[in-house]
Chains A and B, each alone.
Chain A
Amino acid sequence: MDERVGRSGLTDRLIVRPEVGALLGAVVVFVFFTVVTEQFATIGGVATWLDDSATLGIVAVAVALLMIGGEFDLSAGVMTASTALVTATLSTHYGWNVWAAVVVSLLFALGVGALNGWLVMRTGLPSFIVTLGSFLALQGLNLGITRAITGTVQVSGMRSTDGYAGAGYLFASTFTIGGVEFQISILWWVVVIAAAAWLLVRTRFGNWIFAVGGSAPSARAVGVPLVRTKILLFMGTATAAWLVGTINILRFTTVQANQGIGLEFQYIIAAVIGGCLLTGGFGSAIGAALGALIFGMARQGIVYAQWNNDWFQLFLGVMLLAAVLVNNGLRKRAERVRR
């Protein structure tokens, strides 16, 4: 009976890690495109797909935390465009210093995130519906306000704004490894992963995230601040979207008002491939990062293989199903050995 209660083999422990499926998937995808294409495993290739993974992964990691906390944020994709638009409009049309514009844009994101969280907690409605509402509302605002101010559906001309150099250095510069330029977004991604992973497993707040998503009544019964935890998580996804929006506007200096639509599902897919349960209470930040990595590798790998990009969706669907099946199977196995 004693071994039964406390049984803990190394394999069992590894198997129950949420990111196992994603890790296997990432290895398979990497090996596959390394064999099939020539550029994939070169330094230049790596720099390309890491960048793609990074801009997806920064938000995907935050979305994973939110999903572990038991909620969804469908407005995260459009938020990358909204924040970029706020920064761009303030600095190009109203002549603000880029730094000031970026800060206001962050405050805007925090406000929307808090509003999302507050509405969800206040009304008790599923966050899927509430953030679907804010997703559509933001999309409308992006187009409407941009057209009202600029007369077009894009804002450009960031390069000539005040403070562009400094902000660009922080958010959109490159660094060189082996003669190849890597985007600084990759470093931001690493920072976000590290912060999120640390937060999740090493802080009180991290425990609370698991608790509010896994069993809200138990969390409440021992005094976990449920409402505060969830609102902060919504503010977290909005902040991650702001970071990506800022990186984008400073790198490309132009933003389309209809950008970002569809990304919200990619974030969720990356988080689910990374082992997050849709029901909350289970998942990992590293897993979501691996999910985003699979995304980036596949998207660029298909380009290198010179296949039609149409195949990307098929690949994605298969990848998602495979990862979920593997995660589910391992989880079941782990639960079987518990008695």
Chain B
Amino acid sequence: MSESPNPESLLTMTGIVKAFPGVRALDGVDLDVLPGEVHCLLGQNGAGKSTLIKVLSGAHQPDDGVITWRGEPATLGSPVAALRLGIATMYQELDLVPGLSVAENIFLGNEPASFGFTKRLAMRGAARDLLRRLGHPEIPPGREVGLLSSAGQQLVSMARALAHDARLIVMDEPTAALAADEVDNLFRIVAELTAEGVAVVYISHRLDEIRRIGHRVTVLKDGRTVAAGLPANTPTSELVNLMSGRMVETVFPRRDVSTVDESREVLRVEGLTREGEFADIGFTLHAGEIVGIAGLVGAGRSELLETVFGARKADAGTVMVNGKPLRPGSVPAAVAAGIGLAPEERKSQGLLLDQSVADNVTLASLPAFSRAGFTERGKELRTARATLERLDLRPADPRRIARTLSGGNQQKAVVARWLVRDCSVLLLDEPTRGVDVGARAELYRLIHQLAAAGVAVLLVSSEVPEVLGLADRVLVMREGRLLTEAPAAELTEAAVLDLVMEGSEVMT
């Protein structure tokens, strides 16, 4: 791919590198997009797709590499610059202004105006034409965007791309928020646009979608292009093999002796259902066992953990801890029964960032540190320090402010909170997100130690190798359903990926 670019290409990216402190998110990406094609980007979480999109949309500047646009070298210095060239990006979180009308959003920053006054009628007329072109003449151009459904908002976002006369539209998981009929409509529009010569860079984890509308596929792994411009009908097994086998930066500590105590069932979940999130989930968790849940973001994993924890109320089903049913929808009941949750959004949901580590660690067990309504500071600090030492959180200074800790240490502080409470079930949601490589290994070791001490661990992770490397048993979720349950030793990364992405069971 690094030879001279194809003269017919609309866009060529060669050897793109982008490093952030501690990570090389892109480490030599090549991408070549032809006019009028749907070019799919495939890769696991952390493969570099999002960073690549940000480079393409002008939000990030690459450290190295060459971008050629319609045969000329190009610099995508800012989102506006990219837009002016004709590259429009539709992010997953739609970036519209809710208080403005449909037409005003479509032409924002680009308003047809004379002497500062917008030509309202012209603008609405043009918006109506664009929406008609997208097959949705019924969306009123004067309607406030905040009052449209997500499908409607997506159409507005697409109309805006067309208003900028985009030659390339980047779509980041556009079907994630859509119902089946809306997906059909989106695909019809994509087909029409490509017929007019517009190119689409399409990011999706759903292989069936890629088969339906994609022309070519580029596969990313560890920030590199591992296969460029494959035909979209490349067999699943081949794609999955290309994506898997990621360089595992951390060696998973070996667990020669399983610590699972089959005789002590700590958690039993039966028929757990929440409308629109997940349905009929059932599994068990034993003392000393680590169970991993693999699945894509949006498969309902975090929602499941939060429901077990009582932060969401189940529509049906039961959660039993040590044989006793748990009062649904009550976090205090879950905590009293010995469940602890380290949430995915550690900073916003897990920690009091501006409080000391000691305050954070003792937060869930304050009664134990209070006498007559006063907090016993000395005891609090002693316990916190002991726990931090046990977790090897350095420096083990309980007076430090949580915000000043590294990601890995913040995660440890959250786990420490539940250790102080002696919890018997620990729910970990993406525990290594935003944690650097060295600290990951420590967290893995810590999780093993917890299991060895008899804690039952339920772990959610988007990183398949992490789930396979850590867990005794693996549950695979897709679109709110439990697809399979198997001992980790019997699964391969490719097999899990295949399940997660397509739901078909092609064992390699």
Contacts and interface: CB of A to CB of B under 8 A. Distances in A.
Contact of A219 (B108, B140, B160, B182): B108
Contacts of B147: 12, 16, 334-335, 337-338
Given A2-B138, A335-B147, A211 B117 contact: no
Interface string B110-144: 11010011101000000000000000101110011
A68 B98 CA distance: 12
B108 A207 contact: yes
A219 B99 contact: no
A8 interface: yes
Given A5-B136, A281-B98, A223 B113 contact: no
Contacts of A338: 147-149
B26 interface: no
B118 A5 contact: no
Give the bracket for the number of chain B residues in contact with chain A. 35 or more
A8 B147 CA distance: 10
Interface in A1-47: 1-6, 8, 12, 16
B181 interface: yes
Chain A contact residues (Cβ within 8 angstroms of B): what range?
35 or more
A152 interface: no
B129 to A, nearest CB: 16
A117 to B, nearest CB: 19
Contact of B98 (A202, A206, A214): A214
Contacts of B95: 215, 217-218, 221
Contacts of A4: 149
Contacts, number: 108
A3 B59 CA distance: 36
A221 B53 CA distance: 14
A3 B148 contact: no
B151 interface: yes
Interface string A261-289: 00000000000000000000110000000
Contacts of B79: 220-223
A8 B113 contact: no
Contacts of A122: none
Contacts of B98: 214-215, 281-282
Contact of A1 (B83, B111, B181): B181
Nearest to B181: A1
Interface of B: 57, 59, 79-80, 83, 95-100, 104, 108-111, 113, 116-118, 120, 136, 138-140, 143-144, 146-149, 151-152, 155, 160, 179, 181-182
Given A208-B108, A215-B97, A218-B95, 6 more contacts: A12-B147, A202-B117, A219-B97, A222-B108, A223-B110, A282-B99
Interface of A: 1-6, 8, 12, 16, 68, 202-208, 210-211, 213-215, 217-224, 281-282, 334-335, 337-339
5 contacts: A1-B182, A215-B98, A223-B79, A224-B108, A335-B146
